[in-house]
Amino acid sequence: MSRRTDLDLSDDQRFALMKLRRNVADLKLEDKYDDCFLLRWLGARNFDPKGAEDMLRASMKWREEWSINKDDGWKPPQVLVDYIPNGISGYDKEGSPVVIIPFAGFDVCGLLKAAAPKDMVRYLAQRVDEYLEIARQSSLKHGPKASQVTCIVDLTDFNLRQFTWRPAAELTINLLQMYEANYPEILKACFAINAPKVFAFAFNILKNILTGNTLSKFVIFKADPSKWKPALSNAIDRDQYPAFFGGEQKDDDGNPKCVTKINQGGKVPKELYLKNGKKSIQSDDMTIVNIKKGDKLYLKYTVTLPGCYLRWQFKTEDHDIKFGILATDLENIQTVKVPIKKVSCHEFEEIGVVECKYPGEYTVVFDNSYSFIRSKKLAYNIHVTQPLEEKTINAVDQVVDVEE
């Protein structure tokens, strides 16, 4: 645990740092855990040394339990290395590393089917630690402001559907909680660009999990490059990020996304999925039914408000089934919301969400009419959720002004 002499602190803050440093001396922290590191924990607890100490000790215990950066020969599954989108393009104007996340390439469902959640947590923690070490090294040259990370998250083609699958949702929430508990005050700024309206769902979750300090670092732009490009160039010199985002960097072959630096992620091939044995479809929050051979099941849901969402989660035992959704408006005109087609929900749980733009009756169809010899055992959980609050939608739609 090393000391820094380049910190601009008030007398009270300097005293709190001295007290925290003394109180955690028994942890025998490595030199890389310097005063900038300790200040992150103090900042997360409003410079309360006792609160910062408790938070830091809990985090060190978490690192031990999860074997974070433990020298035990562990290597992350290659699928995580190849398919988790991330990378550093350069440094911002104050020397902080610039992390790029092309979020459309984050196939969380595929990754969960191809690797154990613990491996994913350990690998992501490892990557964050690597970025923080780069930031620490930069801060020795450029000063304490460089000890944080600037992030660009491209939300083009953001897909809400996969995050409605319970394992994906639980993992995402756990990762956010892990971030808040173990990586406080590491974010200098997060430019979330090309955000679609549906991102409001995710942002609503963020507001319930992340602290106000973290949320204040988010600058959210919809798909209007004339707004977000100047914001990026205001914080980062253009030769430090990809031309795809308005910078000047390109790969040797001219690729503006800089794929040699930034892992783009992508859809995980099914052949990389872990092989699971036969599992029971029994679940406490699901309705279990048997659909006879040659039969269909119709489930009707009445929507009274425009902008509601119909969410589904289902699986079958042993064999596939056809699934689709029909919508009938108040004038009794029927349209197809989701085409009826076969889904392999006996292999992996099927999840999804569709917006109900207009009031009416929405009919979920499970079709086993094509099967002449097999009945299908189906477990499902389907429900309608209310429209998003206007203030939540505005949080994403609104273009956040950045000071010149």
Token pair for 62: 């978490």
* Single-letter amino acid, residue 156: T
Task: Give 102's strand partners.
Answer: 154
Mean pLDDT (10-residue bins), the chain, 404 residues: 77 94 92 90 94 94 85 91 97 98 92 87 94 96 95 91 73 84 95 90 78 90 95 98 98 97 95 66 77 96 90 88 95 93 82 85 96 92 74 38 30
* Single-letter amino acid, residue 41: W
| Cβ–Cβ under 8 Å, residues 90 and 239 | yes
Q: Quote the pLDDT of residue 1.
A: 59
List all residues 6 or more positions away from 94 whose beta carbon is below 8 Å from its beta carbon.
142, 143, 145, 146, 188
Q: Quote the pLDDT of residue 394.
A: 44
Q: Quote the pLDDT of residue 162.
A: 78
List all residues 6 or more positions away from 39 whose beta carbon is below 8 Å from its beta carbon.
7, 17, 144, 185
Q: Quote the pLDDT of residue 211.
A: 83
Domain ranges of the chain: 11-66, 78-272, 287-385
Asked if the domains at 78-272 and 287-385 fall in one CATH topology, the answer is no
Q: Quote the pLDDT of residue 5.
A: 72
| Cβ–Cβ under 8 Å, residues 85 and 31 | no
Instruction: Write the DSSP symbol of residue 165.
Output: S
Tens of pLDDT, residues 188-246: 999 999 999 888 777 877 787 788 889 999 999 999 999 999 999 999 999 999 999 99
What would be the CATH architecture of the domain defined by 11-66?
A: Orthogonal Bundle (1.10)
Candidates 3.40.525.10, 3.30.420.40, 3.40.50.1100, 3.40.50.360; correct CATH number of 78-272?
3.40.525.10
pTM of the model: 0.71
Candidates 3.30.110.40, 3.40.50.920, 2.60.120.680, 3.40.50.11540; correct CATH number of 287-385?
2.60.120.680
Tens of pLDDT, residues 140-182: 999 999 999 999 999 998 877 777 776 777 778 778 888 999 9
- 202-205 own/partner pairs: CB under 8 Å, 24+ apart: 202/158, 202/160, 202/163, 203/392, 203/395, 203/396, 204/388, 204/392, 205/172, 205/173, 205/176
Q: Quote the pLDDT of residue 283.
A: 62
